[in-house]
Structure 1
Amino acid sequence: MDYKKMAQEILDEVGGPENVSNMTHCATRLRLTLKDTSNVDSKALEAIDGVQNAVNKAGQYQILIGTEVPKLYEEFEPLVKGESTDAMTQDNGSSGSIIGNIFSAISAIFAPLLPALAGSGILRGLLILAVQIGIISEDSGTYSILFVASMSVFYFLPVLLAFTSARRFGASPYISALIGASLIHPDFIALMGDAGNGATTDFFNIPVVLMEYNSTVVPIILSIWAFSYLYKFLDNHVTENLKLVVIPLVSLAIMVPLTVIIIGPIGVYSGEAVANVVNWLIERSSILTGIVVGGGWSVLVSLGIHWAVNPIMINNVSTYGFDYIVPFTFACNFAVIGTTIGVYFKAKNKKLRGFAVTGLVTVALSAIIEATLFGLLVKNKKLFLSQIIGGAVGGAYLGLTKVVTNAFVFGSVTTFPAFVENNSANFINAMIGLLISLVVSAILAYVFTRKDEQLAQ
């Protein structure tokens, strides 16, 4: 595939670099925030070799490429930015709806970190399993090294999120990373003593409520969003020969105290409040939550707005060490697998059967459902309904048995270690729930699929 040619063709169809106000990518989609979408032809985009689908949703033009989207992005980014290597400045005046801009920002901030989060989660699960079967002792150096390797991404989230947030909001990624690092510096943490969250100190006689920021999500995102305005102001008003010293000096001197005095505590409490509400709902009616999330996750994915839920799951894992929502996304993915199985055994068309097998393998190994979702399910309402019902039924069982994961991962066979807990019941119930999703959707898909079914174009 000639990704440079493909990137140029996409850029031409969306109105050229001057029409792109922001860009990012997730696991499978190129996501563009365009200044004017009125002249963009989705059908012309889909006709480009390598493009599977193109939709304007959640304030972004989302172009489905598949798992090779990072290679396309490497060619696309220089075409938009030209010779500049600086982060693209986001127009905080924003085009599109507020909700759309929020979804767009969440996607851009978290997408670069998802491989690290997923890989760390799998390693953590494998380490727990190795301890349980006696391969590794918790008192050994091996355990400590692997534990650090699996947990560092969560501990240093403020630094990593500061960097990706800066790229989204148009601030300096490196100064932003320093702001994040300051929140987890040992000397800052030592100010809390044994009191923990809620301990107090002062900054020039201004009271400071101290919080533990390692593994937190919301505080640093809010901080870098605020910093982006300060950074742009300084960049526009400080003379060129003084920028090297003045911008980082003023930025750190203002933003670190501002974050620990105001923004940080607000972020911690607001993040905990949202997570507590979601977890309260799960505790109150875990079965209903399983039905809604397990059945509806694919709908959120099809709209590109599932990113709004990811920070809650990440926050749960980093704060509590487990999460209830991730298993429901597994139920959705295994319902997709079940649907492909039902289609394969009922349909006679070789092209459709081949597409079903490809989808099965892709989801089972990489948890990427978009290709199957857009290529098969969205185009066939009965099959989409089969998948939704399968995910809902499996999700209900997972909710009933309170299955959790110990990491934020994507739902596939390769990420099963995330279900490994000290009690074996969690893993067993997870496997039962996913099998239910797969079997129910497979049966329904088999019933709804005609023998002469064709792959919709």
Structure 2
Amino acid sequence: MDFKKTAAGILENVGGVENISNMTHCATRLRLNLKDQSKANDEAVKEVDGVVNVVKKAGQYQILIGTEVPHVYDEFEQLVKGNGQIVLDDEAASDESLMSKIFSSISAIFAPLLPALAGSGILRGLLILAVQLGIINEGSGTYVILFSASMAVFYFLPVLLAFTAARRFGASPYISALIGAALLHPDFLSLMGSTGNGAMTSFMGIPTVLMNYNSTVVPIILSIWAFSYLYKWLDKHVPETLKLVIVPLVSLIIMVPITVIVIGPIGVYTGEAIANLVNWLIERSGLLTGILVGGGWSVLVSFGVHWAVNPIMINNISQYGFDYICPLTFACNFAVIGTAIGVYLKARDSKLKSFAMTGVVTIALSAIIEPTLFGMLVKNKKLFLAQIIAGAVGGAYLGLMKVVTNAFVFGSVTTFPSFIVNNANIINGIIGLGISVIVGAVLGYVFTNKEDKLA
């Protein structure tokens, strides 16, 4: 794929530079906010080399490309704004619904961090396995170094999220990162003493509740969202000759105390409440949760709104060290693998067989289901239903057995080390995902006609 040519073709057929109000990307999609979606030629965009499909969801014009989307995004960004900086057009996006804004913001904030989260999670799983096998001694220098490498992304998550949130909300990424870093400074943490969360101090006479912000998600996102308004006001009103000093000075003096006194505690308690609610539901009925998430995850992915759930999983991993929801997303992915295998075994059309097997390999290695989902399953209602049923059955088992992952990862064969918690968890994980593959393969085979072709 010629990334520059692909980006140019997309830009030409979505109405040009003047029709772009905002842009971002996730693991597989170029996500555009268009000022006027009627100016986009869907069929022409689909014909661009490298484009798999076009989806209009969550207030965005989503162009499915696949795992090469970061390269296409880089070229697209250069074409839209030669200096590589996207200026948000708030007026153009004002017609976007609140829910759509939330979904698109979550996607933009977390997508750049997915490689770091996934890589760290796999390293953590492999380190746990190495300890269990006696290859590495817990507490040794080797263990500490690798443990630090695997956990750094979670400990410093507020700094990383501050940077990506700033790019989404239109604030300075570097000042935002400093705000996040201030919350993790050892001297700040020492104020809590042995009390921990809930310890009290004061700031200029104002009573302040102290919280430990390492590994948290919600507080820093809320803080940078609020900071973006202050930053834009300062950038507009401070003389150009004074911006270098005044903007960061005023930003830090105002935002760090406000975050510590008001935004931070609200964010921590809100994030914990959401996570506790989800985990409570899973504990109450793991079977039902497994059916709903395992069977319905592909539906959320097809609408592009699954990003709303990802922060809950990330928060669970960072706060508790494990998560119940992530394994259920594995069930969906492995159900798609099974369905594709069933299609491959039944179909006679060489293009359809090739596409199905490519999907199996792609998902097994990279956990990217969108090409198979949109290219084959969505077009055939029976096959789409087959993978939903398979995901629900496999998810039901995983939920019933309370299977967890120790990292936030996308479901594939390469990310299976995230199940390394204890032997029972590993075995039940294998059984649950095996159920998804087998049921998907059987139903995919049954629902496929030998004469079916790749539409």
Aligned residues of 1:105 and 1:168 also touching (Cα < 8 A):
yes
Deviation, 1:106, is 0.2
Q: Tell whether 2:169 aligns with 1:169.
A: yes
Residue 88 (structure 1) shift = 2.6
Match of 1:214, SS?
A: coil
Code of the aligned partner of 1:427? I
Give the structure 1 partner of residue 13 of structure 2: 13
Residue type at the aligned position of 1:205:
G
Name the residue aligned to 2:113. Answer: 113
CA contact (8 A) 1:94 1:101 kept: no
Whether 1:397 aligns to 2:393 is: no
Distance 1:95 1:62 in 2: 17
Q: Which residue of 1 aligns with 2:265?
A: 265
Secondary structure, aligned partner of 1:61: strand
Matched AA of 1:414: T
Q: List 4+ stretches of structure 1 deviating above 4 A.
A: none
Counterpart of 1:232 in structure 2: which amino acid?
Answer: K
Asked whether the 8 Å contact 1:90–1:168 carries over to 2, the reply is: no
Tell me, yes or no, if the aligned pair for 1:338 and 1:441 is still in contact at 8 Å: yes
- For residues 153 and 316 of structure 1, what CA distance do their matches in structure 2 show? 14
Partner of 2:444: 445
Corresponding residue number in structure 2 for 1:409: 409
Q: Deviations over 1:379-406 (max 9, x none)?
A: 0000000000000000000011000000
- Measured against aligned partners, the alpha-carbon deviations of 1:13-47 in whole angstroms (never above 9, x if no partner) come to 11112221111111111011112212212112101
Query: Could you say which residue in structure 2 is the equivalent of 1:147?
Result: 147
Alignment of 1:24-423 (within 5 A): 24-82=24-82, 84-89=83-88, 91=90, 94-421=94-421, 423=422
Tell me the SS of whatever aligns to 1:207.
Answer: strand
Q: Is the 8 A contact 1:330 1:412 kept in 2?
A: yes
**CA RMSD across the alignment:** 0.9
User: Deviation of residue 257 (structure 1)?
Assistant: 0.3
Query: Would you say the 8 A contact 1:126–1:417 is kept in 2?
Result: yes
Give the whole-Å Cα distance in 2 for the aligned partners of 1:370 and 1:86: 28
The Cα of 1:432 is off from its aligned counterpart by: 0.1
Tell which deviates more after alignment, 22-31 or 144-153.
22-31
Find out whether 1:426 has 2:425 as its counterpart: yes
User: Shift in Å at residue 87 of structure 1?
Assistant: 4.6
Unaligned runs of 5+ in 2: none
Deviation at 1:323, TM superposition (A): 0.1
* Conserved 8 A contact 2:22-2:86: no
Q: Aligned pair in 2 of structure 1 residues 30, 289: CA closer, same or farther (>3 Å)?
A: same
The CA deviation at 1:202 is: 0.4
Change over 3 Å in CA distance of 1:102–1:255 after alignment to 2? same
Query: What's the TM-score once normalised by structure 1's chain length?
Result: 0.98
Q: Which moved more, 1:220-229 or 1:87-96?
A: 87-96
Structure 1 residue 239: deviation in Å? 0.5
Asked if the contact 1:90/1:170 (under 8 Å) is kept, the reply is no
Deviates more, 1:38-47 or 1:64-73: 38-47
What SS does the corresponding residue of 1:145 show, helix, strand or coil?
Answer: helix
Distance 1:90 1:280, change over 3 A: farther
Shift in Å at residue 89 of structure 1?
Answer: 2.6
**Whole-angstrom distance in 1 between the partners of 2:47 and 2:162:** 37
Q: 2:351 corresponds to which letter in structure 1?
A: K
The residue number in structure 2 matching 1:4 is: 4
Separation in structure 2 between the aligned mates of residue 331 and residue 386 of structure 1, nearest angstrom: 13
Deviation at 1:48, TM superposition (A): 1.2
Please report how far the alpha carbon of residue 139 of structure 1 lies from its aligned counterpart in structure 2 after TM superposition. 2.1
Partner AA of 1:62 in structure 2: Q
35-44 or 179-188: which moved more? 35-44
SS of the residue corresponding to residue 212 of structure 2 reads coil
CA contact (8 A) 2:23 2:86 kept: no
Deviations along 1:197-251, one digit per CA (max 9) or x if unpaired, are 0001000100110000000000000000000000000000000000000000000
**Change over 3 Å in CA distance of 1:87–1:200 after alignment to 2:** farther
Determine the structure 2 residue equivalent to 1:455.
Answer: 454
Q: For 1:308 and 1:111, how far apart are their aligned partners in 2?
A: 12
Q: Which runs of 5+ in 1 are unaligned?
A: none
Distance 1:120 1:2 in 2: 31
CA distance in 2, matches of 1:131, 1:251: 45
Inter-partner Cα distance in structure 2 for 1:89 and 1:207: 37
Q: Quick check: 91-100 or 17-26, which moved more?
A: 91-100
Provide the C-alpha distance between the structure 2 equivalents of 1:87 and 1:74, rounded to a whole number of angstroms.
Answer: 12
* 1:40-95 alpha-carbon deviations (Å, 9 max, x no partner): 1211210112111011100111001111111111110011113x344533527633
TM-score by length of 2: 0.99
2: CA distance between counterparts of 1:291 and 1:139? Answer: 40
Q: Secondary structure at the match of 2:113?
A: helix
Question: Aligned partners of 1:169, 1:151: CA distance in 2, in Å?
Answer: 27
Whether the 8 Å contact between 2:170 and 2:228 is mirrored in structure 1 is: yes
Deviations 1:84-128 (A, max 9, x none): 344533527633111011000000000000010000000000000
Q: Counterparts of 2:228 and 2:139 in 1: how far apart (Å)?
A: 45
